[in-house]
Homo-oligomer: A and B are copies of this chain.
């Protein structure tokens, strides 16, 4: 997905930490799987082709990942682990805008956008991919949720605001635009998603309903 996935340029034989080769094989295979998904979609994903692209033995790939759904699940785990940490700008609108811009840049990137489209498509018919995708978004939502709780502490949002729903609300219009329109995913769309979510949050639209007495 990013620079973390390459073999470090300075790596010398003998200086790698234990497990280094395993980690490098995984990085190469997941990078190759991401490339193949972005180029051809899930339907054409093939373990032998991924092994070829990664310059890794086919047996290694079959033994370690077993199936294409297993490989995609591991790719999503890695994407969640290597995603960027949240920003802290000191205001709810600033934090939500930073989040929206990050999502927008990811989805507007040709490779990453195609990769997300492919994985979302696969999740509609592959339960194991759907579970892995849900976990990915869960990790991302948990990463950003504290910015909403901080906004509550600062008095910018009402007590009882559902932080997870707020973070999902920022992403939703960007994914909806990606999947249902031909319109570009531009920074203006990100800023509007953040501004709308911040306004709705301040107005109490994401306050959890209190349990019935």
Contacts and interface: CB of A to CB of B under 8 A. Distances in A.
Interface residues of A, number: 42
A44 to B, nearest CB: 9
A147 B178 CA distance: 25
Interface string A187-206: 01000100111011011111
Interface in A94-153: 117-118, 120-125, 130-131, 133-134, 137-138
A168 interface: yes
B125 A43 contact: yes
| 9 cross-chain pairs, A with B, having the tightest CB-CB distances, nearest first | A199-B203, A196-B200, A172-B176, A121-B121, A196-B205, A117-B124, A172-B172, A121-B124, A172-B173
Given A192-B206, A196-B205, 16 more contacts: A41-B125, A118-B125, A120-B124, A120-B180, A121-B121, A121-B122, A133-B180, A137-B180, A168-B176, A168-B177, A168-B180, A168-B181, A169-B173, A169-B196, A175-B179, A199-B205
